[in-house]
Structure 1
């Protein structure tokens, strides 16, 4: 093709490169029909935008530059570069391009997601003019608008779509692409054999690139359905114009997750028949449990046939002899075809085989299984030389027990995979738990925040506090043989947050029959409140399943009736009747209860009274952060003031910085986070915040607001000063107030919160309170205590008499600007307290507090692992000598 830009639409040009002779792409993919590296130029009245570059090979650069030049008029230059993805076949010519002053403005802006910017910085190792393209942010280039849509794992975490509504064109990166070189550029020009070859390449492109990410493919299709699209500009293959409905339909069909069957595939290779004899007995054992099984001899069976049959099967067992210390290639090929994204935590696998001198072949296959995170219910089964009668019985039982794993039945102890505990690298006392991948559900606890997670393997991240897997401890396997509670009454819970859900879950774990009704004023399914400020930087967080505590399926399965957007307006404690009203239609209904749990939480404390609060907003729930985000975008806010320098204030400030605002924090105390940090720790944290552009004002009280005629706050005065400080938005993140109005109406004993004992009982029998609305022993509540109190309230509501709340020393953990701030125990400095501290370059900081030479508190700014070590040390009451090795 000649070196001239190809005009797709008015002012939109294809300027990419064609590589028809390519036969191998990225080492592993065959490209029978070559490929293309598509780049696009869009000319607006204000800006000229290049979308993607091409592969970093000299043979493409000259033609690429010539095509770009052919689309530019004299003195026109590229002012913006958009990279939907950062792999070198998309961004390879970026450095050469920005250095070419003939076609690129030296001040050209380079747009990509935050991950893309991170990757590009590491790929090119040079500072460039990067600007983060935030989700659904718009770029006006004069006559045309470009809107960005994050599309993670299509097929990298950094991927995004770019949409131009005026041209009804979307640039989807690799999504819907193909490795197909086509001189005529567009899909509508394909016909005959060329079209047939295209469809072959379209399928072969989907399988390795998008097959592992089917849920994300469906999300990508969902995004496209919301757009008015006439043309899809892909990064590889023909541009999709005309009728491209078949491409969309194929992706939709191919990405549907097929339900797995109780079926097991056994595939083996046998040099002398010994391994095959084992395989036949394993098959018989499986069949004895009534499970479908297919046996394949890989000497004459194509690998693809086995993989096709395994497509909807729950189990795969591979058998191999050991020859020269290794498994045979046919079996290795099958093991290597497994993928942790596709098969991990979903499929059951096992291995067996005969060996002579040594049995490394079976062990090596087992290690490969470990790498792919498949479920491994049984230990490998190697047998020396030919199986004896006793060995063949063992093979039969191996098949029986593998089938038991598929059927979720108890496995015999002789075959059950053994648990392993590995010492974590370094000098840490804590241990990382590795458990057998046997599909059995275990209970894990995050020791940072107390979150309880049910999972087969150790969770990689805590949804409540963001801690990594090193923070989890194993509590044990979920016991399905608990003696169930028989209470048959009706329990009503007022409130729909973590405390309420914790109470409902605790009840259902012990009682499947009593009635549970929840009333919540929120419209959302209950979610992880501690991470709501992440919404500022990622508005897709609410679309992720792990954002929510429960979902509709859980509520239906556990028969928990949830009334959303509903307010309890009256309680008759004598008749035990609740009157409630729907917020939207104001319809009022009544329900009777036997036990009542208050989980009404707490509300924001607004320090400003008798003023219009148009741009004065609290930050307590999801609606708060969405309201703040929408206000900022709609009104193009540039500066915000955060009232409060505690945990929530820090998180809010970071989120607002992510939105591109100038941010200041006002804290009444003399330093930030005074309750959790000492003076040196506060100073280090303040410097960190200031290094990211946040202004800190401590020892200050925003006293008087300046408002215009429309009621907008335009500034404030600090108490004791007449100076006016300008601002466009005030976010208050200071002390909250327990919601106790209903409790007060019915005469419950109240101080700052509803007073409760260690069973979460209020002053009225049969009524309980837990979480932020409750007051027990004057303890400040946090996520951990709220969940624990909800559990205790739920258990006592069904009359589990031995359930009591035990006050604990709770850690505080904050991750701000990729730095962990951790505080645990008593950090008060006085004459009776000894301290030991260490700093590194003024940023990493560790300090331990001792009383009677035993550690009682600790602060860490730096690595979470060190904080966890100090927490363990406090629980073990370690001496100064024992703690020295942790600090230094």
Structure 2
């Protein structure tokens, strides 16, 4: 029996084990999962919902511990791996135990990066008691344990994680401000105008935003802790009983590096997700493929599926992922994809843009050679599915470009469907849940088999279990298939 050891029980590791067991009806593989965290596998994308109180930690679980026992998978939580012994093909845990492998899968994810600012870390190397990071379920619980005594919180970092943390805190009634060094929020995904509209939207939801401000130190002030900033006009102190650091992440590649496995920014893998040691593989945020390190759930799950097929003897190969970033925060609907900071004067580009800052809407679609090469869809849920689909598949755009932004426009050149086809009109191959690759046809098949709710569809197909942004679309397709009224279940 082939021994498979998976280091990491996060979203990539858990999905790999599920996919491998689905291809292992003959029980050819003895699978052991070593998870450093004590929790069952959970969806990190939903941590902001847990922080806001709209979900419990249990509702964020993706693979219950009972599943492992039912599938004869040995799961060890709270177990850290200290070293890889490539010669003997085994790993050594921090408890001094050896676990042998024939194939080792590194799904160690990434860790929060804490900048070297005075006051963030104590002399013992631990975070200051009033400083937190937002990366794991434990981080989430630590923040929640402090909220009762917090008058004002500051989130340092205006990227994806920082905004999700800020919105979650605001959902708990905390006075919160985001401080970001760049000239706009989410500068890797958004242009300047989109960043301004997003900041305005967040302010309306109770999250103050300060951009273009460089943090200098976290220290004691006359009335409590303050974050000292340089905003370009001088220094100022922002009160902060709690400082949440969301300044980015770093891949957890130390195990591989110490073992002599090829590492660049992350663990380097080929199209088979194999490292420089063919017995060792890497997936998810700790993996680097073709120079790219992905920090999103959809690529991690794509890699997990490919690797399961490879180890099971299949022909699958990983060719990279097309990135769509979605902000998972209550009352903010944002998707960004491809190259969005482009020169409008480039004759080879078509740039469609519509902005309504008062209503929190900013939509920008970049087209090159009749293909969508980038887009920002803020506050436009009616057309985001169509634009994402065109980007994902590199499909031709409709002759009437207006359908990509305005939901009321019909494109006669596209058979009357335009960019806003009704759920019943969408073809079976149309992807509804991008994170899990679930199509309209699969949802309709689930409905034909008796699925009557979005939760039923999720159980059957995994749709909505990634970022959750497709929940409304899944409900609409299901309603059309069952000829019922669309209902989107809101978790208690």
Q: TM-score range by the shorter chain?
A: 0.7 to 0.9
Shift of 1:507: 1.2
Q: After superposition, what is the alpha-carbon deviation per residue over 1:169-195, rounded to whole angstroms, capped at 9, x for unaligned?
A: xxxxxxxxxxxxxxxxxxxxxxxxxxx
Shift of 1:876: 5.2
Tell me the distance in 2 between the aligned counterparts of 1:786 and 1:883. 32
Aligned to 2:137: 622
User: What is the RMSD computed on CA atoms of the aligned residues?
Assistant: 2.1
Aligned to 2:416: none
Secondary structure of the corresponding residue to residue 206 of structure 2: coil
Shift of 1:552: 2.7
Q: After superposition, what is the alpha-carbon deviation per residue over 1:134-162, rounded to whole angstroms, capped at 9, x for unaligned?
A: xxxxxxxxxxxxxxxxxxxxxxxxxxxxx
Aligned to 1:792: 306
Q: After superposition, what is the alpha-carbon deviation per residue over 1:83-117, rounded to whole angstroms, capped at 9, x for unaligned?
A: xxxxxxxxxxxxxxxxxxxxxxxxxxxxxxxxxxx
Q: Does 1:658 align with 2:171?
A: yes
- Among 49, 52, 68, which residue is 1:534 paired with? 49
Q: Contact 2:53/2:172 (CA < 8 Å) preserved in 1?
A: no
Tell me the distance in 1 between the aligned counterparts of 2:313 and 2:34. 22
Query: Unpaired segments of 5 or more residues in structure 1?
Result: 1-487, 582-586
Tell me the distance in 2 between the aligned counterparts of 1:563 and 1:623. 17
Tell me the distance in 1 between the aligned counterparts of 2:321 and 2:378. 22
Aligned to 2:396: 878
Secondary structure of the corresponding residue to residue 355 of structure 2: strand
Tell me the distance in 1 between the aligned counterparts of 2:298 and 2:154. 29
Shift of 1:734: 2.1
Distance 1:489 1:588, change over 3 A: same
- Among 229, 237, 249, which residue is 1:724 paired with? 237
Secondary structure of the corresponding residue to residue 588 of structure 1: coil
Shift of 1:632: 1.8
Aligned to 1:869: 386
Aligned to 1:705: 218
Aligned to 1:637: 150
Q: Does 1:806 align with 2:319?
A: yes
Tell me the distance in 2 between the aligned counterparts of 1:885 and 1:570. 55
Aligned to 2:362: 845
Q: Contact 1:873/1:883 (CA < 8 Å) preserved in 2?
A: no
Shift of 1:855: 2.8
Secondary structure of the corresponding residue to residue 265 of structure 2: coil
Q: Contact 2:53/2:171 (CA < 8 Å) preserved in 1?
A: no
Distance 1:697 1:750, change over 3 A: same
Q: Does 1:524 align with 2:39?
A: yes
Q: Contact 2:286/2:293 (CA < 8 Å) preserved in 1?
A: no
Q: Number of aligned pairs?
A: 389
Aligned to 1:692: 205
Q: Contact 1:717/1:724 (CA < 8 Å) preserved in 2?
A: yes
Tell me the distance in 2 between the aligned counterparts of 1:697 and 1:534. 23
Q: Map residues 221-232 of structure 1 onto 2, 5 A cutoff.
A: none
Q: After superposition, what is the alpha-carbon deviation per residue over 1:466-517, rounded to whole angstroms, capped at 9, x for unaligned?
A: xxxxxxxxxxxxxxxxxxxxxx310101111011112111211111231000
Secondary structure of the corresponding residue to residue 42 of structure 2: coil
Tell me the distance in 2 between the aligned counterparts of 1:865 and 1:771. 30
Shift of 1:743: 0.8
Q: Contact 1:758/1:804 (CA < 8 Å) preserved in 2?
A: yes
Shift of 1:707: 3.7
Q: After superposition, what is the alpha-carbon deviation per residue over 1:304-334, rounded to whole angstroms, capped at 9, x for unaligned?
A: xxxxxxxxxxxxxxxxxxxxxxxxxxxxxxx
Aligned to 1:404: none
Shift of 1:794: 3.0
Distance 1:853 1:553, change over 3 A: closer
- Among 226, 239, 247, which residue is 1:714 paired with? 226
Q: Map residues 396-411 of structure 1 onto 2, 5 A cutoff.
A: none
Tell me the distance in 2 between the aligned counterparts of 1:828 and 1:724. 33
Q: After superposition, what is the alpha-carbon deviation per residue over 1:758-816, rounded to whole angstroms, capped at 9, x for unaligned?
A: 1111011211011111111232411111111122233333443x121121322122243
Secondary structure of the corresponding residue to residue 229 of structure 2: strand
Secondary structure of the corresponding residue to residue 399 of structure 2: helix
Q: Contact 2:7/2:34 (CA < 8 Å) preserved in 1?
A: yes
- Among 741, 753, 771, which residue is 2:266 paired with? 753
Shift of 1:683: 1.3
Q: Map residues 44-63 of structure 1 onto 2, 5 A cutoff.
A: none
- Among 568, 587, 590, which residue is 2:98 paired with? 590
Tell me the distance in 2 between the aligned counterparts of 1:817 and 1:499. 25
Aligned to 1:602: 110
Shift of 1:879: 4.2
TM-score, L = length of structure 2: 0.75
Shift of 1:538: 1.5
Tell me the distance in 2 between the aligned counterparts of 1:835 and 1:751. 36
- Among 674, 678, 691, which residue is 2:187 paired with? 674
Q: Contact 1:858/1:867 (CA < 8 Å) preserved in 2?
A: no
TM-score, L = length of structure 1: 0.42
Shift of 1:539: 7.1
Q: Map residues 453-468 of structure 1 onto 2, 5 A cutoff.
A: none
Secondary structure of the corresponding residue to residue 373 of structure 2: strand
Shift of 1:836: 1.1
Shift of 1:716: 2.2
Q: Does 1:515 align with 2:33?
A: no
Tell me the distance in 2 between the aligned counterparts of 1:825 and 1:882. 21
Tell me the distance in 2 between the aligned counterparts of 1:557 and 1:817. 35
Q: Contact 1:713/1:727 (CA < 8 Å) preserved in 2?
A: yes
Query: Unpaired segments of 5 or more residues in structure 2?
Result: 123-127, 407-492
